[in-house]
Structure 1
Amino acid sequence: MNFQIRRATSGDLLFARELTCQNMLRYYIQYDLLWQDDAFDVAWAGRDNWLIVGEHQTLGYFSLSHDARALYIRELQIAPAFQGQGAGSWAIDQVIDMVREQRRPALRLTVFENNPAKNLYQRKGLQVQGKDECFLRMQLDISTAVL
């Protein structure tokens, strides 16, 4: 499947919120965290959001923020029907290209410690930098070769 990205609009908020809740709710329940639609909506409004599309359908999205030290993946969500088909890996490659284009020193993200996505992130060169409660903090230094 060929993948592309396009900037998300405010009209894509509902899709992103529902997909994130669907994919992440089990972790929220497991760790006794409270999912809040309003909090998601506020975060969405302050981030750089991109849809992942393929074959005329939306497969998922990623959400970014940045500071002087890094570009941060705040969300990377793939619809369950499309997981395991390379869209997540491809999306990470696109973000790594953005990190390079913006000349940021690192790519960072946080992932639930028991989320299998951490294996994908490790394959892409991100390394665990620390642990906070139920989360792993991961980073790819931009000088690191990417697989």
Structure 2
Amino acid sequence: MMFEWRPAEVADIEFARQLTCSNMLPYYLRHDLLWQDEAFDLAWVIRQNLIIHRGDQALGFVSLSRDARALYIRELQIDKAFHGQGAGTWAIGQALGMVALERRPALRLTVFKDNPARQLYERMGLRVVGEDECFLRMQRDVAA
């Protein structure tokens, strides 16, 4: 069965927060950053959030924002039980389709330097365009 996504509902924030904390806490600890539920919740309210599912099973979510320069993937979280099944690749493909449809110049995201998801992003054509102490900024330009 193929993947799909649907707009997140109010009740989905708990699923998304717990999934993000579970997936990202090891990176936060390694990089001496503080996880804050409140910060997640505040960001959730101002972004477009989509639940990735297969049938009735929620596998993860993507959180998006936009400006004139790009569509930004702010979060792409897949439950560990579903890693390696193509959901992340599918979601990035969907986001690239949105970039083209909305005629935005680029798709952008930020990833921890030591997160293996970087390999997926590179496979999908994103390249490193900047970095700081623990993050890489990645981008894929879309031809006009």
Interval of TM-score (by shorter of Structure 1 and Structure 2): over 0.9
May I ask how many residue pairs the two structures share in their alignment? 144
What is the RMSD computed on CA atoms of the aligned residues?
Answer: 0.9
Q: Deviations over 1:27-82 (max 9, x none)?
A: 00000000000000000000000000003200000000010000000000000100
* One-letter amino acid matched to 1:88: G
Distance (Å, rounded) in 1 between the aligned partners of 2:98 and 2:11? 24
Task: Give the alignment's TM-score, normalised by structure 1.
Answer: 0.96
Distance (Å, rounded) in 2 between the aligned partners of 1:59 and 1:67? 27
SS at match of 1:10: coil
Distance (Å, rounded) in 2 between the aligned partners of 1:71 and 1:55? 27
* One-letter amino acid matched to 1:117: A
Matched-pair identity in %: 62
Distance (Å, rounded) in 2 between the aligned partners of 1:116 and 1:107? 19
Note the residue ranges of structure 2 that are not aligned, 5 or more in a row: none
Task: Give the alignment's TM-score, normalised by structure 2.
Answer: 0.98
* Runs of 4+ with >2 A deviation: none
1:25 equivalent in alignment to 2:36 = no
Aligned counterparts, 1:1-147, within 5 A? 1-143=1-143
Note the residue ranges of structure 1 that are not aligned, 5 or more in a row: none
